[in-house]
Amino acid sequence: MHIAYLSLGSNINNPLEQIKIALKEIDNIPKINLLNISSLYKTPPIGPKQPDFINAAIKINTSLSAHDLLTKMQEIEQAHHRKREIHWGPRTLDIDIILFNKEQISTERLTVPHPFMQERAFVLVPLLEIEPMLETPQHGSLQEILNKLPERHEIQIIA
């Protein structure tokens, strides 16, 4: 079994409901066991002008490979009508694999640890809620990384 951490985000088409439904869909996938779910957070967007996001993080164990997990998460995104039209633009649902075991993966389809996680308080805050001592193979302690990010104060728990 593998341990993976995923980040979920949505900022259009009822974002709160998008995240709640996606969590149920992930939990219903055979070969995935949902171990922990963070609170839901309201976070300011990065990129073009757009609505705030709702973000969450989850910890799972799975017998799926990292690439098979990515495929399953992209299927859920597509079921939520995810469009990839504007880089860092609005989205119905975004599910990223942040960490997969302690592996470093770099392929055309997948980079793990997520290449921007150390720059994203909206990823780090929910992750640290569910795993306070979490460290990455490349960046070390997530708490130390988060302490350096000024936007960490702009993130609010909503549920």
Q: Is 96 a catalytic residue?
A: yes
Q: Which amino acid is at 49?
A: K
Q: Is 52 a catalytic residue?
A: no
Q: Is 82 a catalytic residue?
A: yes
Q: Which of 27, 52, 84, 91 is catalytic?
A: 91
Instruction: Identify which of 2, 124, 125 has the alpha carbon closest to the alpha carbon of residue 68.
Output: 2
In DSSP terms, 2 is beta-bridged to 62
In DSSP terms, 43 is beta-bridged to 53
Q: Which of 52, 94, 109, 152 is catalytic?
A: 94
Cα distance between residue 84 and residue 124, in whole Å: 23
Q: Which amino acid is at 145?
A: I
Residue with tokens 């992750």: 127
Q: Which of 52, 82, 120, 152 is catalytic?
A: 82
Q: Is 152 a catalytic residue?
A: no
Cα distance between residue 13 and residue 37, in whole Å: 22
Q: Which of 27, 84, 96, 109 is catalytic?
A: 96
Active site residues: 82, 91, 94, 96
